[in-house]
A and B are shown apart, each in its own frame.
Chain A
Amino acid sequence: MRRFWKLLRRDRLATTGMVIIVVLAVVTLWPAAWLPANPTRANPALRLKPPVFAGGTWENALGTDNLGRDLLSRTVAGTRVSVVIALVAVLISATLGIGLGVAAGYFGGAVDSLIMRLVDIQLAFPLLLLIIAVIAVVGSSLPILILLLGISGWAQFARLVRAETLRVRTLEFVEASRALGTSSLRLVVKHVLPNISTTIIVVGTFEIARVFLLESAVSFLGLGVQPPTPSWGTMIADGRNYVYEGWWIATVPGVAIVLSVLAFNFLGDGLRDVLDPTSR
């Protein structure tokens, strides 16, 4: 474990990623009462104030939007929304993907064929279209959005988990354990899952980054998080009509998206390098 941290720390990009993720975690857990302003309270008397580094004041350190809402508070509140959505969605896709991936890899045969065809179908389906279609029919709400984003990622997990399971299943100690009469469930839980956990962690990290982007895109289109709840995607959508008069409205949440997506990608790269001895 110590060796692992040492190696990871040597990777500058991964370290940067981790620092940003720690900041994200702090921001996510930041109590709403400690925000400089109420993120949903409009005060048009203060509209379109620039951030402090562009001539604004510390009152609104990152400026205000087209309704005079404090952008710092909104970005922080939006972080909570985006992070919670991303984590829960990836949890859903990981659960689905791992379950189906292990089943396919472990049992093989018809089960494998069926699950892999489902994966092919899911991967071939234009994701955004699926989300738009479902939301158009049932309407947008946070649970539905999370569920859709969760379903969107299971195929990635399933594919990699299946490949890893195939590899682990043929290892000698697994064979031995099976010969001793261990049940399938126990085999999977005791031997297969621990041996593929590194893959899951790496895929999970990349998936979080992907869901961040996807949620922002869906919210930008007005199909995701609904006002007044701030989300990075809706904030950019609000700001797009003010790119000349208030460039910071879209820029601030845009930078937040870029940083957090980069952070998870950096961390994912770093983890893969450290956990996979062949790429070292």
Chain B
Amino acid sequence: MNARKILLALASVLLASTFALAQPRDQSFIVAQAADTRGLSPLSSTNQQEKNISNQVVERLVQWTPDGTGFVPVLAETWSQTADDTLQVNLRQGVSFTNGEPFNAEAAKYSLEQMMVATPYASFVSILSHVDVVDDHTINVVAKGPASQGLMLNALAMGSFQYPPVYTQEVGLLEGFATNPIGTGPFSFVEWVKDDHITLQANPDYWGGKPSVEYLIFRPISESAARVAALEAGDVDFIIDVPLDSFGRLNANPNVVAIASPGGRAYNLTITTLDPNSPLANVEVRRALQYAVDPDSIIEFILQGHGSRLTQVVAPTTFGFNPDIPQLSYDPERARQMLADAGYPDGITINFDYAISGYPLGKEISEYIASQLEEAGVTVNQNVLEYGEYLNRLVTLRLVDLFYGGSLTPPDAQFAYPAYQCGFRYSYYCNPEYDAIFASAPLLVDDTERAAAYHQLAQIIFDQAVVIPLYTMDDFWAHRSDLEGWVPMRDQFLDFTKISLR
């Protein structure tokens, strides 16, 4: 072998080790998301892109129907409300975790107790008190007071991930488990190469039947254009957050399909009100900002129709939506006049914080919003933040004046309204009257009364002009055209148990 051949051989080995994954391509289904996860413990984050990976391995008791309005059993089989404060759940029998531990009432009790102390889930499970084991396959989930069944089921659908107790206690839920998760799910964990890929393998003993793809691989590709290119080249099979402008091109390609499905994430501009010295402490100034932003033109031109206007922080399909809140019309002249009347004839100068990635088209939309505000005499200092830094500032209350964001909460107003309580970890508003109503709402068992409480909260938020509600946006996906059996979910969860490739 001469030197050249040796070099060639070396080069090909290097190339192979760089590009090829250990699993054969034809047995792998590769999903590209915008970012790598920070951990594989489902309870460490409520970020759906992160949970999309761990939730292939770790399953919940119940999950939402694809449209988000109902519940389907997963590791629970049936449930019923046996008392004002008690939901009795019958668990699926004959299921084990992939390490051999049985899934039973003790495991469920342990897992739900983990959920109740997980900080990111605090606002979702605050109504729950404790769990009682009834028999080997039945548990009672007990609330702190009388609670509606819908509220309790939403809490379970949000965070009732089931962990093998022995293994989890041994390695630590947020430590060892976060790098090597074990569950009952359709896939089991194989390897995680940070910022490169996470490989999962089909669970042959899955209670719902072994998935048809052998390996499910998640790859982070941060640039949306690069994700599209990877799908077109056949390097990946499924991408999320597809840029709208590439829909035409993708759908002209017979090998791929791009889909927009109705999304549940509610986007708004939050006006920070905590600084008494800011012009934004004046409700008239905040109201002026509401008139200075035009959500309709964002929906029409940037979302190209793939969005629905919101009048409040929850969508009309959400329980507790207040139909009496009016929709303000875009009127920059009126906004300018209101600012003048409030004592700012030359307009005001505000900060505007937004993330460069993390929300689809977030940067474009934010720049457009800034441009609209300028029309109304508001001078805008734009702070473009990296997504991690944005989240970091959000929860440490360091976003200033105005910020763009979207939150995807269960379709019950109870889960959207904690964000406006005094002292909540990312609340930029404080009003004791609001807090009193919010605290009483979950204890109202009668749904009409409970809805009325949320209507009051929506009215306060509107009267005080603490947010500029924008829209819910469709979710944008694309996948190879021979994929069958995948259904987009409102909660953006990726369910690959029933997929097949023709």
Report A's interface with B, CB cutoff 8 A: 40-42, 44-45, 47-48, 66-68, 222, 226-228, 240-246
Which residue on B lies nearest to A245, using beta carbons? B245
Asked if A245 meets B246 with Cβ closer than 8 Å, knowing A222-B356, A226-B382, the reply is yes
B:356-407 near A, CB below 8 Å: 356, 364, 367-368, 370-372, 374-375, 380, 382-384, 386
Are A44 and B301 neighbours in the complex by a CB distance under 8 Å?
yes
Whether B367 and A228, one on each chain, are in contact in the complex, defined by CB atoms closer than 8 angstroms, is yes
Partner of B371, one of A40, A66, A246: A40
B297 at the interface (CB under 8 A from A): yes
Q: Given the complex, which residues of B lie within 8 Å of A242, measured CB to CB?
A: 225, 245
Q: Which 6 A-B pairs have the closest CB atoms?
A: A44-B301, A42-B371, A245-B245, A42-B368, A241-B225, A227-B382
A68 near B374 with CB under 8 A, answer no
Does any Cβ of A come within 8 Å of B146's Cβ? Answer: no
Q: A44-B301, A67-B368 are in contact. Are A241 and B243 (CB under 8 A)?
A: yes
A8 smallest CB distance to B (angstroms) = 43
Q: Which residues of B are at the interface with A, using a C-beta cutoff of 8 A?
A: 223-225, 243, 245-246, 249, 297-298, 300-302, 356, 364, 367-368, 370-372, 374-375, 380, 382-384, 386
Residues of A near B302 (CB, < 8 A) are 44, 47, 67
A245 and B364 contact, CB distance less than 8 A:
no
Q: How far is the CA of A245 from the CA of B246 in the complex (A)?
A: 7
Shortest beta-carbon distance from A254 to chain B in Å: 16
Please indicate the chain A residues that have their CB under 8 angstroms from the CB of B245 in the complex: 48, 66, 242, 245-246
* CB within 8 Å for A68 and B301 given contacts A240-B223, A241-B224, A242-B245: yes
Which A residues are in CB contact (< 8 Å) with B380?
Answer: 228
In contact, A44 and B368 (Cβ under 8 angstroms):
yes
B370 x A244 contact (CB < 8 A):
no
Query: What are 6 inter-chain pairs, A to B, with CB distance below 8 A?
Result: A41-B374, A67-B367, A222-B386, A227-B367, A240-B225, A241-B223
Tell me the minimal C-beta distance from A168 to chain B in angstroms: 49
Report Cα–Cα, A222/B368, bound state, in Å: 18
Report the tally of A-B residue pairs with Cβ distances under 8 A. Answer: 59
Cα(A214)–Cα(B320), bound, Å: 53
Alpha-carbon gap, A222 to B386, bound state (A): 9
- Distance in Å: Cβ of B377 to nearest Cβ of chain A: 14
Given A44-B298, A226-B383, A228-B370, 4 other A-B contacts at CB below 8 A?
Answer: A241-B225, A242-B225, A243-B225, A245-B246
Taking each of A240, A243, A244, which has the highest tally of chain B beta carbons within 10 Å of its own beta carbon? A244
* Contact (Cβ within 8 A) A226 B384: yes
B300 partner residues in chain A, CB cutoff 8 A: 44
Q: How far is the CA of A201 from the CA of B492 in the complex (A)?
A: 60
A67 / chain B contacts, CB cutoff of 8 Å: 302, 364, 367-368, 371
Task: For the complex, give the distance between the alpha carbons of A48 and B374 in Å.
Answer: 22
Chain B residues with CB under 8 Å of A246's CB are 245
Q: Which residues of B contact A45 (CB under 8 A)?
A: 297, 301
Tell me which residues across on chain A come within 8 A of B356, comparing CB atoms: 222
The chain B residue with its CB closest to the CB of A234 is B384
- Once the chains are docked, how many angstroms separate the CA of A19 from the CA of B57? 65
Q: How far is the CA of A227 from the CA of B371 in the complex (A)?
A: 11
Whether the Cβ atoms of B246 and A227 lie closer than 8 Å is no
Chain A: which residue is nearest B243 at the CB level?
A241
* Contact in complex: B371, A244 (CB < 8 Å): no
A244–B246 contact, CB under 8 A? yes
How distant is the Cα of A243 from the Cα of B249 in the complex, in angstroms?
Answer: 12
B245 to chain A, nearest CB (A): 4
- Complex-state Cα separation, A17 to B224, whole angstroms: 38
List the B residue with the shortest CB-CB distance to A45: B301
